[in-house]
């Protein structure tokens, strides 16, 4: 039902849109639209890839791109914020007081000014000038998108909520995220591990809901895959090139397996900042893996699915990074499981919520290449084990990671908190 005051739009504040690495967000928006939510997307920056997933084409939501540069975007930001201040000086000054209170905790002071200006831009340009009938704001990721969401919601006099994922929780000052939790109407997070962490640090008892991202299970099937694998084995990793993914641990484990005489081919999908890309390429060369490794760079989701169809083991070396960053449950782990590909991974963060050792996959401690090499070998060569874990993993993925079921649950959470919906 529409909000009592007739404002019917759910605003989604995103870091960027569309983003090739955030299929789960585009799927969420698409399925929420099917439930009857009218969504308007606010993207803090323009797309950085020159292609996107097919699912993006099915989203009806209009997109407002916020000025992202404090140099080139400053005239527009100031113009709309001055207009908003003249329209509601008292409320604008009260929002500045909120910003000032949080300002001393900010690691980069200038970005917090930008976030305030972006929030004002949303309210003046989108809501007041363009007539978006905003009834609720939701930020995806608990750091900068939620900061913009919180300020814009205050200025627009609407409630807000946010979804906390992984890096956004663990790499910011706990006082900053707790302030957001305490101001939000409710919070969503994607693992029980995250939920427990947030509950332990929040004093006011605001609702915190755990909803897994889920995957579109229509896209994944074992397709009669035989449980036995034969050499040369195909091993796959899909990950951004960042410290927490532990790609160096994977490569060291593969070098160990090659030294043992295991015949395999390895495909590494992803990329990162230039220094990480160079570091990974150098490590592949230094470990003598050039002739068995394919570095694809960033590819589409459809291409990842095609790779999974020919993969014998999916592996990740996730770890807790030096700055506290860590994964939640990488969606590609669930995708591998649903495709009938055994997973050999590290037991970090929320991964054990989906992968149970020797039942639905294989786990080992992080930062231990020999231990990871051992479970990769078992996942490839122990056919009795494969016959056990493959069907159990498929069943587990279908039981707990069906995005259609999970996003319906998310939609009901939104509605229970008064978020406007037309159905």
* Per-residue pLDDT tens over the stretch 236-284: 999 999 999 999 999 999 999 999 999 999 999 999 999 999 999 999 9
> Is 104 part of any domain?
yes
Q: Sorting pLDDT into bands at 50, 70 and 90, what band is 1?
A: very low
409 and 361 within one domain: no
Least confident span in 14-18, 171-175, 373-377: 171-175
Residue 274, domain CATH: 3.40.50.2000
pLDDT score recorded for residue 54: 65
pLDDT score recorded for residue 210: 95
126 and 16 within one domain: yes
How many Å separate Cα 256 from the centre of its chain?
Answer: 31
pLDDT digits (tens, 9 = 90+) for 60-116: 999 999 998 888 999 999 999 999 999 999 999 999 999 888 776 666 656 778 999
234 and 190 within one domain: no
pLDDT score recorded for residue 15: 93
373 and 305 within one domain: yes
> Is 4 part of any domain?
no
Q: Sorting pLDDT into bands at 50, 70 and 90, what band is 360?
A: very high
312 and 329 within one domain: yes
- 355: burial class by Cβ within 10 Å (0-12, 13-18, 19+)? buried
Percentage with pLDDT > 70 across the chain: 94
Q: Which one has a higher pLDDT value, 46 or 303?
A: 303
Q: Is the pLDDT of residue 178 over 80?
A: yes
412 and 354 within one domain: no
Q: Is the pLDDT of residue 385 over 90?
A: yes
Instruction: State the pTM of this model.
Output: 0.88
Q: How far is Cα 163 from Cα 12, in angstroms, rounded to an integer?
A: 11
Q: Provide the residue range defining the domain that includes 128.
A: 9-214+402-416
DSSP string, 137-164: EEEESTTHHHHHHHHHHHHHT--EEEEE
296 and 177 within one domain: no
C-alpha R_g of the chain: 23
């Amino acid at each position: 039902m529409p909000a009592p005051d007739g404002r019917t739009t759910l605003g989604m504040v995103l870091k960027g849109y569309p983003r090739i690495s955030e299929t789960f967000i585009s799927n969420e928006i698409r399925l929420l639209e099917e439930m009857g939510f009218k969504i308007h997307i606010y993207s803090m920056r323009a797309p950085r890839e020159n292609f996107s997933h097919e699912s993006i084409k099915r989203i009806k939501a209009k997109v407002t791109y916020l000025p992202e540069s404090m140099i080139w975007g400053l005239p527009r930001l100031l113009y709309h914020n001055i207009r908003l201040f003249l329209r509601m000086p008292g409320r604008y000054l009260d929002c500045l007081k909120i910003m000032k209170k949080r300002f001393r905790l900010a690691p980069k002071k200038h970005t917090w000014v930008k976030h305030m200006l972006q929030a004002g831009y949303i309210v003046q340009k989108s809501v007041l000038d363009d007539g978006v009938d905003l009834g609720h704001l939701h930020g995806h990721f608990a750091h900068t998108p939620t900061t913009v969401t919180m300020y814009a919601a205050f200025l627009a006099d609407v409630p807000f909520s946010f979804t906390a994922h992984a890096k956004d929780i663990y790499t910011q000052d706990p006082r900053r995220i707790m302030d957001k939790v305490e101001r939000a109407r409710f919070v969503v997070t994607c693992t029980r591990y995250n939920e427990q962490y947030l509950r332990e640090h929040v004093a006011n008892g605001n609702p915190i809901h755990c909803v897994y991202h889920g995957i579109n299970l229509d896209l994944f099937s074992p397709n009669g895959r035989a449980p036995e694998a034969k050499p040369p084995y195909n091993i796959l990793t899909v990950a951004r090139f960042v410290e927490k993914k532990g790609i160096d641990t994977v490569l060291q484990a593969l070098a160990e397996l090659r030294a043992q005489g295991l015949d395999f081919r390895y495909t590494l999908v992803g990329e990162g900042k230039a220094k990480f890309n160079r570091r990974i390429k150098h490590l592949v060369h230094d470990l003598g893996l050039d002739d068995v490794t394919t570095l694809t760079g960033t590819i589409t989701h459809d291409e990842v699915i095609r790779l999974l169809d020919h993969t014998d083991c999916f592996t990740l070396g996730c770890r807790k990074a030096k700055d506290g960053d860590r994964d939640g449950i990488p969606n590609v782990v669930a995708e591998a499981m649903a495709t009938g590909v055994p997973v050999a991974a590290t037991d970090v963060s929320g991964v054990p919520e989906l992968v149970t050792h020797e039942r639905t996959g294989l786990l080992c401690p992080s930062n231990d290449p020999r231990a990871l090499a051992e479970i990769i070998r078992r996942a490839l060569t122990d056919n009795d084990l494969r016959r056990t874990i493959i069907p159990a993993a498929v069943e587990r993925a279908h039981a707990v990671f069906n995005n259609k079921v999970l996003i319906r649950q998310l939609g009901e959470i939104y509605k229970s908190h008064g978020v406007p919906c037309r159905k």
